[in-house]
Amino acid sequence: MASSGVTGSPCGACKFLRRKCAAECVFAPYFCAEDGASQFAAIHKVFGASNAAKLLQQVAPGDRSEAAATVTYEAQARMRDPVYGCVAHIFALQQQVVALQAQVAQARTHLVAAGHGHPLLYQQQAAWQVAETSTTQSSSGCYSAHRSDDGSSMHAPAEMYCFGEQEEGSY
């Protein structure tokens, strides 16, 4: 646990905010006195200290380190890329998935042509059938950012934003 004003130097968040670090400081366990200040600077600018504190307080104590890490990551990504933030990484990964799926499909075609009847082909096909199910499930939920019901509200280009099934129907 990072030190607080009670036991020593303030945590990174309180150091950045130039305030006394209380014993119950919600940031102290996750933002150390050294690197924590620069990490918290990004959080402060993107989310605001108050919103970040509320976010940490609303999750279970056991989940707060993960929440602090993901909020820090999002904030730093948004600082680097104000337009896309960490969504740029999602787009890059989606492109990688599409490219790999094409490679798998092509390999399947070539295996049929090259090794029809080969015992290994049947093993590979069985593996593909299993993998295809999970792959199809995890790549659902794509939608166009260009709203068809009110074209004036979102001026994003009509390319597909695929944010996964958990984000289905976000817009």
Site residues for its own copies, 96-155, by CB under 8 A, read 96-97, 99-101, 103-104, 106-108, 110-111, 113-115, 118, 120-121, 123-124, 127-128, 131, 134-135, 138-139, 145, 150, 152-155
CB 139 within 8 A of CB 162: yes
What is the chain's length?
171
We find the least distance from the C-beta atom of residue 20 to its own copies, in angstroms, to be 19
Contact status, residue 44 vs residue 72, Cβ threshold 8 Å = no
Q: How many residues bind its own copies (CB under 8 A)?
A: 91
**Cβ neighbours of residue 90 closer than 8 Å, sequence gap 6 or more:** 163
Residues 2 to 31 in contact with its own copies, rule: CB under 8 A: 2, 12, 29-31
Interface of this chain with its own copies, residues 34 to 73, rule: CB under 8 A: 34-36, 39, 45-48, 50-51, 55, 58-59, 63, 65-73
| Smallest distance from its own copies to CB 146, Å | 10
H/E run at residue 93? helix 87-115
- Compute the least distance from the CB of residue 46 to its own copies, in Å: 6
Closest CB 29 distance from its own copies, rounded Å? 7
**By C-beta, is 18 or 149 nearer to its own copies?**
149
Gap between the Cα atoms of 147 and 67, Å rounded: 31
Number of Cβ atoms within 10 Å of the Cβ of 29: 16
Which one, 20 or 118, has the nearer CB to its own copies? 118
d(CA 138, CA 141): 8
C-alpha to C-alpha distance for 1 and 89, rounded to whole angstroms: 30
Q: How far is the CB of 70 from its own copies (least distance, A)?
A: 4
- Please state the φ and ψ torsions of residue 160, each to the nearest 5 degrees: -85, 130
